[in-house]
Chains A and B, each alone.
Chain A
Amino acid sequence: MEFILFLLRRFTRLLLTILIISTIIFFVIRVIPGDPALVVAGIDASDEEIQAIRVKLGTDAPVAVQYINWMKDMVKLDFGKSLTSNQPVLKIIRQRFSLTFTLAILGILLGVIIAIPLGVLSAVHRWSLWDYFGMVFSQLGMAVPSFWLGIILLLIFSVKFPIFPLFGSDSLKNLVLPAIALGFARAAVILRLTRASMVDELSKEYIITARAKGLTEKMIHYRHALKNALIPVVTVTGIQFGYMLGGAIIIEQVFSLPGLGRLFLYAIYQRDFPLIQGGVVFIAIIFSLTNFIVDIFYSILNPKIRLS
């Protein structure tokens, strides 16, 4: 019961966040100098043509009316039609989303699978070989830009040793290298945090109680410390996942993957305003949803959260 109430509270908060985000996006677009219609129409367009585009974009109405229309569309999840392809924005985004999503999930999974065990090992065996390996790993991960890593991976594993395909996006095999390129930096961050958090937990008093009970070191580490240590890790992993959707834009470019990133980049080149707007709102919604899911995990790990 307590948990359901908690979920409801968090869900309301999610809706509110999305409402505020879409409001901000609406105003940001209108505050930025320049009339989209002018940009879309080009230099040679006549006043009538420009006016026609304004009507099409809906920017001819007073701002208040535009806002109400915008909000109405938001509720219906209607982002309008793309100017270039004339298809509904949501439909285009949906087509491209699954690739980017799979890529991000693979990336974060890879990051978590490497980073959390390595972080725990580094914390438990401080200043051991594991720890040094972890340090080098995370230094590299933070220093190496993902697009560069992507290119190097392609050169080694697709060109020199053709293990993975150079082009294409139809099989999971195509996504391995981009996921590594994307996940490496994330793994570095998660690794550092896991280690720090685990070290912190192991120095807490309840660990002394666990020792006094005669528990084995394994039980102390995994049953007692790890659950507490993972609380901040889960939060940051969620945020990292959000960033990953953004980072995918660059990686998709490197690997020529037709994902969301390429779509939005293309939309910006083409001045496809409805698509850009829709894209920004969509990413924002995904970000908020991720946070919502993280909150749920967080509350499972940390019983104190459910009360507040």
Chain B
Amino acid sequence: MELIVKNLDLSFVSGGSEAHALRGIDFSVKEGEIHSLVGESGSGKTVTSTAIMRLLLSPPARINSGEIILDGINTLKMQEKEHRKIRGKKIAMIFQEPSKYLNPTLKIGKQITESLILHLGMDKKEAVLRALAILETVGLGGGKRVLNSYPHELSGGMKQRAMIAIAISCNPDFLIADEPTTALDVTLQLQILELILSLKEKLSMGILFISHDLRVVHDISDRISVIYAGKIVEGTSKNELFSNPLHPYTQLLLKSIPDAEKRGTRLTTIPGKVPDAENIPTGCAFHPRCPKAQDICREKEPEMKEYIKGHFSACHFSQGEGF
């Protein structure tokens, strides 16, 4: 089973202006792997994930072209009614701030069981039993007490576990985790990451992990795609990406990770910022910030090519074994 996003092109249109948020996104998530989507704020990570889940309001969102293929079926062709049946059942999502994304006036138990009742047709009793088992899976001890709690009665880490419990309740094939640890403090981050890793093993889910934090991504991913200005610029396995980054953007990102060995030296930063989706530069979108930029970068958009087996990059100057 595979989740494939093919050439996804999406704009936000409002009034007369058009923001070209995604300019042909390509990647895939296989069963039992964690594929990370890494990029700066505004690069299109969250738009990609919410487009897959069909959570964007349309208008203003407009899909120009592309396919989102789940289990061999292009979900973009589905009617809303059909698509609703796969959301939460085959593909689920967890979000950055669990305290905002949980309903404040519904008990955790109800928030878990309603998907079970809806998608799996369980009765209330079965659903509660299953919910208790799921709480165990996500490491939320306390069983019935947690089911009867309101979100505000749980700590931040517990809330994120509850959010995960809701997402995995119907045993989905794919899970999208949109910066699930960003709002948590460091010790909790680690626990949640370990939980996500263990879920991948136990449930053999495919996980699309969205993050801006390369260190987090390093700890958790099997494969990584780097996204810039609404386009994937490099994609390969984790080890390959960290040892042999081909795209200048990735190289700079890796250099700007602060670590203990660089103590005392100045932090490397990438000058400039991600371009507005309304004003994407010509040629390679990264050229205004790229130290290697030449004339060709301003004129021609580089194609995504496989330079080394399984290692794709979209840069005129990437070099490899000539795949």
Contacts and interface: CB of A to CB of B under 8 A. Distances in A.
Does A pair with B? Answer: yes
Interface of A: 204-206, 208-216, 219, 223-224, 227-228, 231, 301-304, 307
Contact of B103 (A209, A211, A304, A307): A209
A264 to B, nearest CB: 40
Contacts of B163: 209
A307 B150 CA distance: 12
B5 interface: no
A208 B105 contact: no
Interface stretch (B30-38, B83-91, B121-129, B253-261): B83-91
Contacts of A213: 87-88, 92, 114-115, 118, 166
Interface stretch (B62-70, B94-102, B189-197, B207-215): B94-102
A302 B102 contact: no
B55 A216 contact: no
A224 B106 contact: yes
B150 A205 contact: no
Contacts of B167: 212
Given A214-B115, A223-B114, A209 B84 contact: no
B85 A204 contact: no
B152 interface: yes
Interface string B132-155: 000000000000000000101000
A209 B87 contact: no
A203 to B, nearest CB: 10
A137 B169 CA distance: 44
8 contacts: A205-B100, A208-B95, A213-B92, A213-B166, A215-B88, A215-B115, A224-B106, A227-B105
A211 to B, nearest CB: 6
B88 A206 contact: no
A277 B88 CA distance: 62
Given A209-B166, A214-B118, A302-B104, 15 more contacts: A206-B100, A206-B102, A206-B104, A209-B95, A209-B102, A212-B93, A213-B114, A213-B115, A214-B89, A214-B115, A227-B105, A231-B105, A303-B104, A303-B152, A307-B152
B102 A214 contact: no
Interface of B: 53, 55, 84-89, 92-93, 95, 97, 100-106, 114-115, 118-119, 150, 152, 163, 166-167
Contacts of A210: 103
A218 B95 CA distance: 23
Q: Rank and list the top 8 A-B pairs by shortest CB-CB distance, nearest first.
A: A214-B87, A214-B88, A213-B88, A205-B100, A206-B103, A303-B150, A214-B84, A212-B93
Contacts of A208: 55, 95, 101
Nearest to A307: B152
Contacts of A303: 104-105, 150, 152
A211 B95 contact: no
Contact of A212 (B55, B97, B118, B150): B55
Nearest to A208: B55
B95 A205 contact: yes
Contacts of A209: 95, 101-103, 163, 166
A223 to B, nearest CB: 7
B101 A205 contact: yes
